[in-house]
Amino acid sequence: MEVADDPETVKANEQALKELKEQQRIEAASTTSMTIDKEIHDFGKVVDGVENHCSFTVTNTGDKPLVLSDVKASCGCTTPSKPEGPIAPGKSDKIEVGFKPNGKGVSEKTITITANTDPRITVVKVKADVQ
C-alpha cells in the first residue's frame, strides 16, 4: 500500500483541504465595515461568583455581508457567543456575553472580535467592581 492510499493519510488530507477551502472562502469574502454600540460595558458593582449578562450590538455599515469569524474572551470567566450566520448590509445582531467573576476588586476583561473588516480585529471590554 502506498502512503497516498493509506486511509488515515487520505482522511487527514481531505480535512486539511476542507480547512484550506474554508479559509480561502473567508478571505475571499469582500471586506465590509461595522459599528458596535459601545466599546465597554460597565456592570458596576457585582457579586463575586454570580453570572452577569450583557450584549454588544454589531451593525453592518458596509455593502457586503459581515462575517464574524471568531469572538474570544481574555479569560475563562467571560463567555461571548457570536451570531451564527453573516449579518446583511444595514442589519444588526448581538454578541451575547456572560461574565462570572472569580475574585474581588475591579475586573476588566477583553473580547476580541475577528471579522471581514479592515482592520480584521476589534476589541471591546467588560468591567465590574466585584464585591
Instruction: Kindly report the pTM of this predicted structure.
Output: 0.77
Contact 131, 45 (CB under 8 A): yes
Looking at residue 7, its pLDDT comes to: 86
Contact 126, 78 (CB under 8 A): yes
Dihedral sign for Cα atoms in the order 115, 97, 39, 90: positive
Fold for the domain defined by 31-130:
Immunoglobulin-like (2.60.40)
Instruction: Tell me the average pLDDT of the chain.
Output: 91
Average pLDDT over residues 6-24: 81
Report the alpha-carbon distance of residue 54 to residue 56 in Å, rounded: 7
Q: How confident is the model over 67-98, as pLDDT tens digits?
A: 999 999 999 999 999 999 999 999 999 999 99
What is the pairing mode between strands 40-46 and 121-130?
A: parallel
Looking at residue 29, its pLDDT comes to: 60
Looking at residue 43, its pLDDT comes to: 98
